[in-house]
Amino acid sequence: MTIRVLLADDQALLVAALSTIFNTQHDIDVVSTADSGRAAVAACREHSVDVAILDIRMPGLDGISAARLIREGHPKIRIIMLTTFSDDTLVREALDAGVHGFLLKDTDPDQLCESVRCVARGESVLASAVTGGVLEMCRTAISERNELNAAQRQGIAQITSRELDVLKLVGKGATNTEIAESLLIAPTTVKSHISALMNKLAARDRIALVLTAQKAGLLPR
């Protein structure tokens, strides 16, 4: 299935370069471009979009504000913020807006394309440069008095050695594809292991999974 992408950035040269990169992929198609946040929101109304890639700093309506409006009007659209800046405040604001990915503009083209595929599949992606900061923000938000419950302790006892291998790579910020390549298993198998881990540790997403695993002593803090 072709992934329909919206590109929004006020740098025309970057938009052209990214369009060229994406349109060389057999499964990604740039269906619209925009040079401002307001234009991006309008484009989502006018086109069928699967993944919107937004710059944070745009004239008029910034990318994070645009992301909020897109999420409100089109909750099925997945959003990636693409920016030059890895400021923790911007990352926090973007995540609060409900985005599904945060990448830097120096991301390798192949990794960028794979990130679009990951987000389109329902996964979340973070640039390695911001992963540590995001985890630290989550740690701060979690009260120290929150202990592992009985179900989580029971689930930990049921984790297999292969699931632990997968968990360690998730803790390092690896994508499903990277985990599959590292462990020489299929991406679908990785997805099954992560689903099992989330179920056993009662984690709603990958970040919660890592934090719970750290609390349980399965991963270094």
CATH code of 172's domain: 1.10.10.10
Question: Do 89 and 46 belong together in one domain?
Answer: yes
Evaluate the CA torsion angle 195, 201, 204, 210 in order and state its sign.
negative
The answer to whether residues 104 and 160 belong to one domain is no
What backbone phi and psi angles, to 5 degrees, belong to 8? -130, 115
Contact between residue 46 and residue 137 where contact means Cβ atoms under 8 Å apart: no
Q: Judge whether 17 lies within some domain.
A: yes
User: Is 206 among the domain residues?
Assistant: yes
**Residue at which a domain ends, from 104, 121, 138:** 138
**Residues 152 and 107 grouped into a single domain:** no
220, part of any domain: no
Statement to judge: residues 176 and 118 lie in one domain = no
- What pLDDT, on a 0 to 100 scale, did the predictor assign at position 153? 82
Give whichever of 38-52, 93-107, 157-171, 194-208 has the largest mean pLDDT. 38-52
Whether 62 is in a domain gets the answer yes
Q: Is residue 96 part of a domain?
A: yes
Instruction: Kindly state the tokens that stand for 209.
Output: 């999974």
Average pLDDT over residues 114-141: 71
Is pLDDT above 50 for 141? no
| Domain identity same for 184 and 109 | no
Residue 66: the pLDDT is: 95
Q: Are residues 115 and 170 in the same domain?
A: no
| pLDDT level of residue 143 (50, 70, 90 thresholds) | very low
221 in a structural domain: no
The total domain count for the chain is: 2
Least confident of 70-79, 85-94, 153-162, 187-196: 85-94
33, containing H or E segment: strand 28-34
Range of the domain at 181: 143-215
Residue 160: inside a domain: yes
pLDDT > 90: what percent of the chain?
52
Q: What is the mean pLDDT of residues 98-122?
A: 89
Look up tokens 């913020």; give the residue. 81
167 lies in some domain: yes
- Residue 5 pLDDT > 90, yes or no? yes
CA distance 190 to 97: 28
No. of H helices and E strands in the chain? 11, 6
